[in-house]
Amino acid sequence: MAAIGIIGREGRMGQAIAAAVEASEHKLAGGADKGEDVAGLADASNALIDFSAPAALEGNLHAAIGAGIPILIGTTGLEDRHHRAIDEAAHAVPVLQTGNTSLGVTMLAKLVREAAGALGPGWDIEIVEMHHRNKVDAPSGTALLLGEAAANARGVDLADNAERGRDGHTGARGDGAIGFASLRGGTVAGEHSVILAGENERIVLSHVAEDRALFARGALTGAAWLIGREPGRYTMEDVLGL
Ligand SMILES: NC(=O)C1=CN([C@@H]2O[C@H](COP(=O)(O)OP(=O)(O)OC[C@H]3O[C@@H](n4cnc5c(N)ncnc54)[C@H](OP(=O)(O)O)[C@@H]3O)[C@@H](O)[C@H]2O)C=CC1
Ligand SMILES: O=C(O)C1=N[C@H](C(=O)O)C[C@H](O)C1
């Protein structure tokens, strides 16, 4: 049994994770929200789960390092500097950062990698996502994760090939571009489609999250898996053995 600390405890995901902990063999060490004592929470926990905001990331990593415990980061909207901070922290403690903790999306990313690699850049890739009206970042972390999978399979940098937020007279899509489109509305937990468009045919690979409890269970599985590991940066593929 592990004591789990939740950063962003009062948020939508924080509440779902607390419910997942309640239903598991593990126990809740406590939670922290904006302005609260993350270092103290870390000292009382065997692992931290962070679903809060990018601005909180560096402090949360320091708290995990200070307590010598692993941290799973589900927060999205991260920038390059955040990823550098995660890489640095992973020298000291086990860290898992992912835009999506579900088994289904982890599998989808593998399928995207395989399809994008086999079909080559002649097939255009567009990634469409829809989320609830309160989501604050776009494209979603999952869309970017799927875009990374496609770019890796093609041996290119996503940053150099992404087309985000098209509007107005954009001109034709670039050769080898990976396009993103974001829809927001209602209570949608998370829907992602990766469209591979060739000559007169399309492949559409999709994932539908029916309830955010799914992400909460995945986050708890991941955090528990990290306990006792060597310092390093891990993925959901490592956790799920995919
Ligand atoms: N990886 C995955 O599988 C998933 C990732 N997510 C991501 O998780 C994050 C949270 O999503 P969601 O729960 O819907 O968002 P919410 O806005 O509902 O919750 C965020 C929580 O974090 C708190 N918070 C904000 N800033 C800080 C801070 N500096 N320190 C500590 N706590 C803080 C907020 O408090 P306050 O309201 O006071 O600001 C709030 O309680 C988002 O980035 C989202 O994209 C979501 C689902 C799945
Ligand atoms: O904010 C959300 O709700 C979600 N965020 C994650 C993302 O940005 O991909 C994962 C999930 O789709 C729900």
Residues 118, 215: Cα–Cα separation, whole Å: 30
Q: Quote the pLDDT of residue 182.
A: 98
- Specify the CATH number for the domain of residue 201: 3.30.360.10
Atom of ligand 1 nearest to the CA of 219: 3
Ligand 1 centroid to Cα of residue 201, in Å, is 39
User: 221 lies in which domain range?
Assistant: 3-97+212-240
Question: Confidence band (pLDDT; 50, 70, 90) for 206?
Answer: very high
- Specify the CATH number for the domain of residue 63: 3.40.50.720
Q: What is the pLDDT of residues 32-91, one digit of tens each?
A: 999 999 999 999 999 999 999 999 999 999 999 999 999 999 999 999 999 999 999 999
| 45 CB burial (10 A radius; 0-12, 13-18, 19+) | buried
Asked casually if ipTM beats, i.e. exceeds, 0.90, the reply is yes
Q: Quote the pLDDT of residue 165.
A: 87
Task: Identify whether residues 217 and 205 lie together within a single domain.
Answer: no
Task: Identify whether residues 32 and 93 lie together within a single domain.
Answer: yes
Task: Find the mean pLDDT for residues 219-230.
Answer: 98
Averaged pLDDT of the chain: 97
The backbone torsions φ and ψ at residue 74, rounded to the nearest 5 degrees and listed phi first, read -105, -10
Instruction: List, in order, residues 6 or more apart from 229 with CB less than 8 Å away.
Output: 70, 94
Peptide bond into 231 cis (omega under 30): no
Looking at the structure of the chain, the number of domains it has is: 2
Question: Confidence band (pLDDT; 50, 70, 90) for 101?
Answer: very high
Task: Identify whether residues 198 and 115 lie together within a single domain.
Answer: yes
Task: Identify whether residues 191 and 232 lie together within a single domain.
Answer: no
Protein residue with its CA nearest to atom 17 in ligand 1: 11
> Which candidate, 97, 77, 221, places its Cα nearest to that of 137?
77
Whose atoms come closest to the Cα of 190: which ligand?
2
Task: Identify whether residues 72 and 140 lie together within a single domain.
Answer: no
Task: Identify whether residues 108 and 205 lie together within a single domain.
Answer: yes
Whether pTM > 0.90 for this model: the answer is: yes
Task: Identify whether residues 83 and 109 lie together within a single domain.
Answer: no
Task: Identify whether residues 12 and 74 lie together within a single domain.
Answer: yes
